Structure 1
Amino acid sequence: MWFRNLLPYRLDGAWGMSPGAFEKKLSERTLQPCTGLTAQTQGWVSPRDDDQLVYGQGRQLLFSLGTETKLLPSSVVKDAAKAKAAQIEARMGFKPGKKQMRELREQILSELLPKAFAKRRATRVWINPEAGWLIVDASSQKRGDEVLTLLRDTLGECPFYPLDTAQSPMTCMTAWLAKGDAPGKFSLDQDCEMKSGGDDPAAVRFAKHGLEGDDVRRHVKDGKSVTKLGMTWNDRIRFVLADPGIVRRVRFEMIEQDRAENEPQGNAEERFDADFTLMTGELTELMGGLMEALGGQKKD
């Protein structure tokens, strides 16, 4: 249940939908299996492997986007088309043309796709209406776009927009690294990626390496900008901040250690409740601190 990536979006206005009303809307677009020649489907699934599409605790909401994809590599279709073309050449005495090859690939695709295995994945999404956040547990913008697209189709609107801060994360991360310190409750960790400008930028990466030394900072002096920076929050959460504001590789190390030493009592449902409360509380503070460090929301 613990989020490992934070792809943030801001809430435009107030969120007035109750968990029950939200559940009802999501139930209209649940994940359906791929049938026939459909290669991929998307819909809402339970975030807890039960019958509920929305888990609500207080004002916090948790839900999941499900994706089912047929596993049919293009190389399989290509090889099957080549084999079929060889049979045609042996029988007819000439190679199939481009149009016929395209028709062969389409024919083979229609034959193999219904028989292909399907793989499912779930992308968890957390809405914090009070703090104005929608957080997708994903490290790629594409996954976030999928969530917002289906949310818009489901609700008829999407009151969320991408994070846009007054200062760019790249500019701030470069300044923090040059200074050897981060603002507020943040501190530098041991991972970093820097790139130069231009169409073919040079890149340098440091992993599990102290970032305070001159061997690191000289790259900033040489004109490189920081695109990824390992950081810690309040000595409790470690993560990598990536431009344009995606928080990746989140590790609740101290929190999980405390949790292990003080394992919540009760059944799995009660432990889930406790973990969700702890996670959302910590991440709300982290995201608030990050917004402040980046100068707040960009003004129009």
Structure 2
Amino acid sequence: MWFKNIIVYRITGEFNYDEAQLEEKLQDQAFTPCGSQDLSRYGWVSPSNGLQDTLLHSVHGFHMIAAQKEEKILPPAVVKQQVEEKVSVIEKEQARKVYRKERDQLKDEVVMDLLPRAFSRFQQTCALIAPQQGWVIVDASSHKRAEELLSYLRGTLGTLPVALPDVKHSPSAIMSHWLEGQEARPQGLEILDEAELRDNLVEGGVIRIKGQELLDDEFVAHLEAGKRVVKLSVEWEEQLRFMIQEDLAIKRIKLTDQMKEKMDQESPEDQLAQFDTDMAQMGIEFTRLFPMLIEGFGGLAETP
């Protein structure tokens, strides 16, 4: 149940909700399936993979939530074909031209007619709230998906004071300096064998490197030629491997073999107890990792 991709937000104000209050708020906005005329629905579901019915799962001060989105699938080509058929009938029977406004009305009618027969696509997004440490960690590979969950949570709670962290130094520049040897890496952070570089002067100029030593002279020559690191694979404290992006998103998180072995040794037999253990360990590691990365990029920028 470890998150694979995370976008992390700072809690910038008060977050004074206990477990009962959060559960009550989430229940008010619980997920309900699409009705016959709904294009999509969004709401809260159980984050514990059905192990519990509650919409909030809390362990050691960490809170996990999950949002589910249902979208009806209407292929544009099917909609267009049916609209054209209706237009053809009208123009033939009434001997007149169908213009844009009427076409849009026909399209709406076609969509409403097709919705009850459309298939649904479901997407679930989880987030870990760490109020004591001051973070909200969203399991999402895009900012759009993360912001969708946060926007819904803000509407559910009435307020949600969070913001993406702003660091003093450019992550891209600092990661480039790590490889050039001009900047000391944070303790416990080791460079792996994958990176993406971009050229500031050439639009679309991208170099992707995988399975190569990133600290050798050939690679450094790209940096000296003006390219900059925008993605870098690293290992942290022999526990986690991941890709750091220039926007501070963390992608492709994997446990190291050492970490897996340690967790297997401590693994309880009960599924719910295992979920609690994994969630607590994930919360501890992530809330240790991100402050370290922020410090490595110069610390948080001062807000005006």
- Give the TM-score normalised by structure 2: 0.91
Question: Could you tell me whether the CA contact under 8 Å between 1:184 and 1:293 is conserved in 2?
Answer: no
Query: Does structure 1 residue 134 correspond to structure 2 residue 136?
Result: yes
**How far, CA to CA, are the matches of 2:99 and 2:221 in structure 1?**
58
Aligned length: 299
Q: Does 1:82 pair with 2:68?
A: no
200-209 or 226-235: bigger deviation: 200-209
- Per-residue CA distance 1:55-95 (angstroms, 9 max, x = gap): 11121111112111111122221122234434445555666
Which AA in structure 2 matches 1:168? S
Partner of 2:213: 210
Which of 250, 269, 292 in structure 1 is aligned with 2:253? 250
User: Matches of 2:104 and 2:161 in 1, distance apart?
Assistant: 43
Aligned twin of 1:220: 223
AA at the equivalent of 1:258: K
Distance 1:173 1:297 in 2: 17
Q: Secondary structure at the match of 2:232?
A: strand
Partner of 1:15: 15
Deviation by residue 1:244-297 (Cα, 9 ceiling, x = unmatched): 11001100123223334x262331111111212222222222112112111221
The letter for the 2-side match of 1:271 is Q
For the aligned residue pairs, the C-alpha RMSD in angstroms reads 2.1
Please say if 1:58 is aligned against 2:60: yes
Give the residue type in structure 1 aligned to 2:278. Answer: D
TM-score, with normalisation over the residues of structure 1?
A: 0.92
Superposition deviation, residue 26 in structure 1: 1.0
2:100 matched to which residue of 1? 98
Q: Which residue of 1 aligns with 2:267?
A: 264
**One-letter amino acid matched to 1:118:** S
Greater mean alpha carbon deviation, residues 235-244 or residues 161-170 = 161-170
Deviation at 1:208, TM superposition (A): 2.6
Counterpart amino acid of 1:40? Answer: S
Q: Would the alpha carbon gap of residues 87 and 159 (structure 1) be closer, same or farther in structure 2, given more than 3 Å must change?
A: same
Identity among equivalent pairs (%): 30
Q: Give the equivalent residue in structure 1 for 2:126.
A: 124
- Read off the aligned partner of 2:10 and give its amino acid letter: R
Corresponding residue for 1:164?
166
Structure 2's unaligned 5+ residue stretches are none
Q: Comparing 95-104 with 72-81, which one deviates more in the overlay?
A: 95-104
The residue correspondences of 1:128-207 to structure 2 (distance < 5 A) are 128-179=130-181, 182-197=185-200, 200-207=203-210
* Partner AA of 1:282 in structure 2: E
Q: Give the conservation status (yes or no) of the 8 Å contact 2:186–2:293.
A: no
Whether the 8 Å contact between 2:241 and 2:255 is mirrored in structure 1 is yes
Mean CA deviation greater in 249-258 or 98-107: 98-107
Name the counterpart of 1:38: 38
Q: CA deviation at 1:235?
A: 1.7
- Unaligned runs of at least 5 residues, structure 1: none
Letter of the 1:38 counterpart: D
**Secondary structure of 1:299 counterpart:** coil
CA distance in 2, matches of 1:156, 1:98: 40
